[in-house]
Each structure stands twice: as structure tokens, then as C-alpha cells.
């Protein structure tokens, strides 16, 4: 294995959970999540030589992952949606916290892809500045969009 391949493998191992989080948020089935993961790896590999270290490596991984999933989401818009199945029901617990997590996930899935990306980053406890760097908008715009997204999620409660 070349030094470049070893370095890339290390990066993927360090950021695997980030990539899976993005895939899970955008996928409608386990097969789609696997496909998205593979597509992200391809895009990361293709862009690896061009990464200029002008931002943190984690920012670059988030950006490539989100852009890949948003692009795939747009392409799949015309396909029939399938129920999500990750081999087990992660939200099947009957306790209140699990039901609330399931309800939140279902509502987030109904958001537009760009808004879904912003919520995912916010749920990862990123600052507005970090979110702005990843999605390519200003921190103020992140604040405004998050406020609007939260209002939209609240309205879904009544629908």
C-alpha cells in the first residue's frame, strides 16, 4: 500500500462516524446508505490530491459528504421512496425518549436537503462558524436558517 493510500485509509477511519451520520440522515434504506457511503469514499479519494488544507480536514470531509448526499438526493427525487431498514429498528424502544428521537428523525427527513444538512451539523454540536464553513454560507445566515428550520419542524407537529 502506498503512503497516499495509507494516509487516506487513516483519514477514513478517523471520520467514518461522520460519513455514516450523513449517510443515515439522507438514506431511505440501508442499501442506499451503503451506496452513499461508497460514493462519498470515491469523491473523497478523487479530491484527496486537491485538498489544500485551507480548512480543517474534518470540514472538508463534512463538506464532501454533505454535497455528495445532497446531489444524490436531488437525483433520486423522482424515485419512489422505500421504508428505511438498517437491519434493526433503532427506534423501536417504547420509552418516551426513543419515540421522540424517532419523531425528530422522521421530521428532519421531510426537510429540504440543504436544511437537513444544517440540522445535522447543528445536532453534532458544531458552532455556527463551523457550519457556515462547511455549507458555504455566513454564520448569520446559519442562525437565520436554523431559526426558520426550527419553526418548520414545530409546524410539522400539527400536520
Confidence of residue 29 (pLDDT cuts 50, 70, 90): confident
CATH assignment, 89-159: 1.10.10.10
Lowest-confidence region among 9-18, 43-52, 69-78, 88-97: 88-97
| pLDDT at residue 142, as a whole number | 96
Instruction: Look up residue 28 and give its DSSP letter.
Output: S
Percent of the chain scoring above 70 in pLDDT: 84
Q: Which residue shows C-alpha cell 470515491? A: 42
Q: Please state, as a whole number, how many other Cβ atoms lie within 10 Å of the Cβ of residue 152.
A: 14
pLDDT tens figures, 41-72: 999 999 998 888 888 899 999 999 999 999 88
Instruction: Confirm or reject CATH 1.10.1740.10 for domain 1-87, answering yes or no.
Output: yes
- The more confidently predicted of residues 99 and 137 is 137
Amino acid at each position: 500500500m502506498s503512503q497516499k493510500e495509507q494516509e487516506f485509509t487513516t483519514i477514513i477511519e478517523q471520520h467514518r462516524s461522520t460519513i455514516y451520520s450523513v449517510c443515515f440522515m439522507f438514506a431511505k434504506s440501508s442499501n442506499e446508505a451503503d451506496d452513499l457511503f461508497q460514493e462519498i469514499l470515491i469523491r473523497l479519494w478523487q479530491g484527496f490530491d486537491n485538498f489544500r488544507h485551507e480548512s480543517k480536514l474534518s470540514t472538508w470531509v463534512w463538506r464532501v459528504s454533505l454535497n455528495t448526499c445532497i446531489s444524490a438526493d436531488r437525483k433520486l427525487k423522482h424515485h419512489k421512496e422505500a421504508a428505511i431498514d438498517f437491519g434493526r429498528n433503532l427506534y423501536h424502544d417504547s420509552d418516551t425518549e426513543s419515540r421522540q428521537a424517532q419523531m425528530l428523525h422522521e421530521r428532519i427527513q421531510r426537510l429540504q436537503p440543504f436544511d437537513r444538512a444544517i440540522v445535522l451539523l447543528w445536532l453534532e454540536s458544531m458552532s455556527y462558524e463551523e457550519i457556515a464553513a462547511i455549507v458555504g454560507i455566513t454564520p448569520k445566515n446559519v442562525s437565520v436558517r436554523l431559526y426558520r428550520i426550527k419553526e418548520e419542524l414545530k409546524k410539522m407537529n400539527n400536520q
